[in-house]
Amino acid sequence: MGVLGRLSKAFGISKEMSVDEFMSAAEAEEVDVLHKAADFYVKPISLQTEADLKIVEEELENKNLVLLNITAVARNPTKLKEMINELRLFARKINGDIAGIGEEKTILLLTPHNVKIVKKRRQ
């Protein structure tokens, strides 16, 4: 083991470092080192505050699809209804779509301009 190896070991630094360790969360969100850039993305977002509505709207305007987890807001049915109505109006305004998915409907799928959701199950 060389001098650098011993110093690294003494300071707790290893040569092998995972991507998560190397990059902060903000950098990791902006850079996808495993895939080529895409035209559109499917973005998972958790709805917790009204500020999250603006994030959803921005993603839809950027032509991304959004998987929105509404579990945190579901504890307050009145607030949940208001937020979903706002999202529904926005989706209609941009000619997108919105639908609950899964058995419990705690995930909403929101689509950008000219992307529609087939809501009826095929028999």
The DSSP string of 90-101 is HHHHTT-EEEEE
Cα three-residue angle 75-55-80, rounded to 5 degrees = 20
Given this model, what pLDDT does residue 30 score?
58
The pLDDT confidence band at residue 105, using thresholds 50, 70 and 90, is confident
Strands (E), 1-123: 42-46, 65-69, 97-101, 107-111
Summarize pLDDT for 56-90 with one digit per residue, the tens: 999 999 999 999 999 999 999 999 999 999 999 99
Dihedral of the CA atoms 39, 119, 121, 106 (nearest 10)? 90
Percent of the chain with pLDDT over 90: 59
The pLDDT confidence band at residue 26, using thresholds 50, 70 and 90, is very low
Domains assigned to the chain: 36-111 (3.30.110.150)
